[in-house]
Amino acid sequence: MRSPQLIIANGGDNINGTERPYGYFKKYYERGAPWTFVVQNRTPHCCLQNAQTLILEWLRAVLLSGEPKRLGMGDHGYITVETAKVVDEWKRPVFNAASSRIAPKGKGKRGELQSGWMPSSMFSREWLVFTGRPAPVAVWKP
């Protein structure tokens, strides 16, 4: 709960989906966990290559964030979502980020989902670029 986590969900296939990962994120984020949620728009569950830059920037920012009491402070992300044309293996709808923005914690607008803590301004910019991509740059299946 006190350890930062980056939760990456995919919006492109019926294996993992987005609802269950988001529910897991939300449960602990609302209790104060310094967690961050991101959707890989229209990307299947096999492909984290598109998130490599985002993951490395998140790790850098978390390692430089300093004192544990500062974790979760600062800006937070918010997304609006659109339903994909697939459902997950539990028959729940899958969603993708339609838009994203950064604001202080608790300043979400109607219809937005909280996306968690932004550990640095550089990560915030990377997160906005990543969530703003309508589709993956590339998909390399195993």
Distance of alpha carbon 84 from alpha carbon 92, whole angstroms? 11
The predicted pLDDT at position 68 comes to 57
Distance of alpha carbon 51 from alpha carbon 65, whole angstroms? 21
Q: Which two tokens stand for residue 25?
A: 């994120």
Domain boundaries, the chain: 5-132
The predicted pLDDT at position 67 comes to 64
The predicted pLDDT at position 49 comes to 76
Collapsed DSSP state (helix, strand, coil) of residue 70:
helix
| pLDDT tens digits along 49-90 | 788 899 999 999 999 887 655 666 789 999 999 988 887 777
Q: Which residue has the higher pLDDT, 96 or 43?
A: 96
> Average per-residue pLDDT in the chain?
86
DSSP state of 48: -
Please state, as a whole number, how many other Cβ atoms lie within 10 Å of the Cβ of residue 105. 15
Please state, as a whole number, how many other Cβ atoms lie within 10 Å of the Cβ of residue 23. 10
The predicted pLDDT at position 30 comes to 93
> Phi/psi class of residue 49: alpha, beta or left (left: φ > 0; alpha: ψ in -120 to 50)?
alpha
The predicted pLDDT at position 140 comes to 60
Section 103-126 average pLDDT = 94
Collapsed DSSP state (helix, strand, coil) of residue 4:
coil
Q: Are 22 and 115 in contact (CB under 8 A)?
A: no
Which of the four pLDDT bands, split at 50, 70 and 90, describes residue 138?
low
Which of the four pLDDT bands, split at 50, 70 and 90, describes residue 113?
very high
**Predicted structure pTM score:** 0.87
**CA dist 123 to 20, 55, 93, 132, Å?**
24, 9, 28, 14
The pair phi, psi for residue 69, each rounded to 5°, is -70, -15
Q: Which residue has the higher pLDDT, 49 or 140?
A: 49
